[in-house]
Structure 1
């Protein structure tokens, strides 16, 4: 079974085609300083430690011309930690593999799902039990638009 990679521009029209954009649009990127690792379990002793600055563009984007940002709508991927309103960085140059989170085009609509191949069936699996798996059998066409490489979330909205 073949996973088709094609141009969403030709299939969906220009108005739906994502525009490549850096996370920070000005020429002077804002480096963020990593202070220390944070324990999400038991607290760890604090230390005065500063690592190298982190540039989110360099961290999330390996191939700028092939990387796009999407805003997620809906909650089918909540179990994967991808929530409504999150931004996902998507690399079109990466070949999709079994177990990747991908942006796919289904019925002329973008969707974000886990990609699995089981025997001769391609599955787009949500990560929320309230949603159903979408399956494609041999001979049915489905398009993987790109592979998700990162998620950006703003925790405090409106501040």
Structure 2
């Protein structure tokens, strides 16, 4: 059906804390500034990336149909089940019993799931389609 699938699904472990050093200065892409050596405190990514603890999960992506959205094979996504799946949001959905990752589009009273890669067609959602949105993607984590 699609060229992108959910490889693995995880729930966040919020019982641990792994605060990292936080520098409240801009990062220069050219020559380093000696003023950038000031540590401002600690940062816990759970506080910044997870809005609804009980309704958040992580998924690992396999495929390339969402590369236009900056989502690549092997990326880890943070998905929130509380957020409303509004038009143009990237969602994890179940279509005909299969998990998929696409952009939700509502147009002219019709609903479809659109890939962000022109090599793949959109998936039209009709009344006969077994369809459910599992959650809205809030963040993408991928290596550089």
Gaps of 5+ in 2: 1-6
Q: Which residue of 2 aligns with 1:21?
A: 12
Alignment correspondent of 1:30 = 18
The yes-or-no answer on 1:148 pairing with 2:134 is no
Q: Per the alignment, do residues 135 and 56 of structure 1 end up closer, same or farther by CA in structure 2, a change over 3 Å counting? A: same
Alignment partner of 1:110 out of 99, 111, 136? 99
- Equivalence for 1:91: 80
State the secondary structure of the residue aligned to 2:46.
helix
Alignment partner, residue 128 of structure 1? 117
Does 2:66 match 1:77? yes
Q: State the alpha-carbon separation in 1 of the partners of residues 113 and 76 from structure 2.
A: 20
CA deviations 1:32-65 (Å, max 9, x no partner) are 223333356xx47623244443211111111111
State TM-score, norm by structure 1.
0.73
Whose strand proportion is higher, 1 or 2? 2
Partner residue in 2 for 1:60: 49
1:95 deviation in Å? 1.3
Task: Give me the whole-angstrom Cα distance separating, in 1, the residues matched to 2:105 and 2:31.
Answer: 38
TM-score by length of 2: 0.80
How far the C-alpha of 1:108 sits from its partner, in A, is: 0.8
Measured on the aligned residues, the alpha-carbon RMSD in Å equals: 2.5
